[in-house]
Amino acid sequence: MGERVLITGGAGFIGSHLADELLAAGREVRVLDNLTEQVHGGADRAPDYLSPEVEFVSGDVRDAEAVARSLAGVDAVVHLAARVGVGQSMYEIDEYVDTNERGTAVLLQALIARPVRKLVVASSMSIYGEGLYANGGGAPREDVERTHAQLQEHRWDPVDEQGRALAPLPTPESKRPQLASVYALSKFVQERMCLVTGRAYGIPTMALRFFNVYGPRQALSNPYTGVLAIFAARLLNQKRPVIFEDGLQQRDFVHVQDIARACRLALERDCADAVVNIGSGEASTILQIAERLALALGRNDVEPEITGQFRAGDIRHCFADIGQARRLLGYEPSVKLDDGLKELTEWLAGQAAEDRFDQARSELMQRGLSA
């Protein structure tokens, strides 16, 4: 029998791809998932895309009994269970803190009683806030923030104290966190709790900071999921993708297969007590992404709507320095963006999506979280 791995939140987008990756590598896979409605649309059973070889346990990571039951006979854990969404976290604070922080605490409490060979926790690039920048002389700046007044004047790019432009750089794990949303704070707590507990109890632990993940199986009707899925839902409903600020903000888009492989490598490699960026190592603007997706879907006649609005917690530029992933994990991104978009559009051809973006934007505006 192969090693048995528990994936919390494993019926979702990333978890299901990781399950496929681990099964192909000869592992046994168990999934604990509560099938939250925002992701799974009220389904009462595991999604069809989840391999029938996966042992599915219906339950919540906050339920100590369900967690203990799921850990029986398990050799390693990948902890993905979390509420995801920067904007929503700012008005569903209790739910995000309860799921992400208390859920992790319940899991760790169970692992004290029943240690495993390896624990891998999904963290997030949102922890960084703004990415790393350089001033005019090339010196790094990691304390960059944009003021509300600056954003109201549509001065989107960060500047130094003299008003001079700062240049974005790849962001390494050494950059100090700037926790600009409740979601970011909760992910930071997740990774710190796991690393601290793992160190104290001799459980080798790694935290992987995922950048902007995209690919098939992403929840298209969830308006707080990845921006590519949100754009896809708009285009499938004959609507224009909506872009905040001016669309020139830069992100790092990484294919879900690369994320799944990174998780497998983290389980396999003899390294622990580390935080590792998992991205593509390449920067794309949000406008470029919207245009490339529309082109891939044959909707190049649709121009994105650039609103000039901004949201609380949004940052300007952040893309990954993946040098540490290469060194520690032997990780190398394998899916180029154009190839990933082609695969995504092929999957989208068989999908229907309820576009809930306007409702989500209204929620933010009513609470003064978007302007």
Cβ atoms < 10 Å from Cβ of 19: 27
Structural domain spans, the chain: 4-365
Tell me the C-alpha distance between 177 and 24, whole Å.
Answer: 36
Residue pLDDT, tens place only, 156-202: 999 998 888 999 999 999 999 999 899 999 999 999 999 999 999 99
- Per-residue pLDDT for 352 more than 80? no
Given this model, what pLDDT does residue 360 score? 66
Given this model, what pLDDT does residue 302 score? 86
Tell me the C-alpha distance between 291 and 338, whole Å.
Answer: 12
In 144-251 the beta strands, taken as DSSP E runs, fall at: 167-168, 205-210, 212-214, 242-243, 250-251
Class of domain 4-365: alpha beta
Core vs surface per residue 239-248: b (16+ CB within 10 A) or e: ebbbbbbbbe
Tell me the C-alpha distance between 170 and 281, whole Å.
Answer: 8
The pTM for the full model equals 0.94
Cα dihedral value 217, 219, 220, 226, nearest 10: -100
* Active-site residue list: 183
Mean pLDDT of 212-216: 95
- CA end-to-end span of the chain, whole Å? 56
Q: State residue 107 phi and psi, 5-degree precision.
A: -60, -45
Tell me the C-alpha distance between 77 and 5, whole Å.
Answer: 6
Tell me the C-alpha distance between 185 and 129, whole Å.
Answer: 10
Least confident residue range of 33-42, 131-140, 277-286:
33-42
Burial class (CB in 10 A: 0-12, 13-18, 19+), 163: exposed
Per-residue pLDDT band at 219 (split at 50, 70, 90): confident
213 with 257: CB under 8 angstroms?
Answer: no
| The two structure tokens encoding residue 115 | 């240690």
Given this model, what pLDDT does residue 61 score? 98
> Helix or strand or coil: residue 313?
coil
